[in-house]
Structure 1
Amino acid sequence: MKFKKTISLTSAALLALSLSACSNNEPDAAADGELDELTVGIIPIAAYAAIPYGVDHGIFEEHGLDVTAQASSGGAEMLPALQTGDMDVVIGNVSNLLLAVDQGLDMRVVSGYQNSLQEGQDVNGVVVRADSGIETWADLEGAEVAVNALRGQGDLTIMESVDQDGGDPEQVNFVELNFPDMESQLERGNVDAVWLPEPFMHNALESDDYKLLGHPNQIVSGMPTVVSFVTGGLVDEDPDLVRRYQAAMDDVLTAFAADEEGAMEAVVEFMDVPPEVAEIASDLESHDAAIPTEAIQQLADLMVKYDFVEENPISEGFFFEE
Structure 2
Amino acid sequence: MKHLAFALTGGLMLALSTPALAQKIRVGCTSSADCGTAMIAVDQGIFEKHGLDVEMTRIALNSNIPPALLSNSLEIGGPTSSVFLQAVDGGLDLVAVAGASVMHEATNQGTVAVIRDGVTIDSAKDFVGKKVGVPGFGAYIHILFNRYLMAGGVDPAQVNMVETSFPSMPDVIRTGAVDAVASGGPTVQRILSSGTGHLGPRFVAELGGDAPIIFYAATRQWAEANPEAVAKFQQAIAEAAALAASDREVVIASVAKFTEQNPDLVRATPPSKYVAELTTDGLGWWLELMQKQGLLQGSVDPGKLIVAAP
What is residue 232 of structure 2 aligned with on the other side? Answer: 244
- Measured in 1, the distance between the counterparts of 2:252 and 2:143 equals 30
Q: Which amino acid aligns with 2:231?
A: R
Between 1:133-142 and 1:32-41, the stretch displaced more is 32-41
Offset at 1:303?
Answer: 1.5
Look up the match of 2:5: none
CA distance in 2, matches of 1:115, 1:316: 19
Query: Contact (CA 8 Å) 1:93, 1:153: kept in 2 or not?
Result: yes
Pick from 134, 146, 165 the counterpart of residue 178 of structure 1. Answer: 165
Cα distance in structure 1, aligned partners of 2:125 and 2:148: 8
Distance (whole Å) between structure 2 residues aligned to residue 286 and residue 274 of structure 1 = 20
Letter in 1 for 2:240: V
Partners of 2:232 and 2:107 in 1: CA distance? 35
Task: Detail structure 1 runs of 4+ shifted over 6 Å in the superposition.
Answer: none
2:257 aligns to what? 269
Per-residue displacement from partner, 1:272-292 (whole Å, max 9, x unpaired)? 3333212123x4311111115
Which residue number corresponds to residue 52 of structure 2? 65
Q: For structure 1, which segment, 240-249 or 117-126, has the greater mean C-alpha deviation from structure 2 after superposition?
A: 117-126
C-alpha distance in 2 between matches for 1:119 and 1:53: 20
Q: Deviations over 1:158-201 (max 9, x none)?
A: 11101112333331221112222223323333322101232110
C-alpha deviation, 1:45, in angstroms: 2.7
CA displacement at 1:252 relative to structure 2: 1.2
Q: Which has the higher helix share?
A: 2
| Matching of residue 257 in structure 1 with residue 245 in structure 2 | yes
1:211, 1:304 → 2: CA distance?
A: 33
Query: Aligned to 1:93, which of 64, 69, 80?
Result: 80
Between 1:154-163 and 1:165-174, the stretch displaced more is: 165-174
Query: Which residue of 2 is the match for residue 228 of structure 1?
Result: 216
User: TM-score, structure 2 length as denominator?
Assistant: 0.85
CA distance, structure 2, for counterparts of residue 171 and residue 203 of structure 1: 28
**What is the Cα deviation at residue 209 of structure 1?**
4.5
Residue identity opposite 2:166 in structure 1: F
TM-score (norm 1): 0.82
Which of 296, 304, 307 aligns to 2:283? It is: 296
- What SS is found at the alignment partner of 2:210? coil
Q: Which runs of 5+ in 1 are unaligned?
A: 1-11, 17-31
**Aligned partners of 1:121 and 1:284 also within 8 Å:** no
- 2:136 is aligned to 149
What is the 5 A alignment of 1:97-246? 97-118=84-105, 122-207=109-194, 209-218=196-205, 219-246=207-234
Contact 1:123–1:197 (CA<8 Å) still a contact in 2?
Answer: yes
* 8 Å CA contact retained: 2:32, 2:259: yes
Map Cα deviations across residues 126-166 of structure 1 (whole Å, 9 max, x no partner). 11134322111232122211112123222211111011123
Letter in 2 for 1:270: F
Instruction: Work out the CA distance in 2 between the residues paired with 1:268 and 1:154.
Output: 21
2:267 maps to what in 1?
A: 279
> For 2:266 and 2:79, how far apart are their aligned partners in 1?
21
Distance 2:230 2:165 in 1: 31
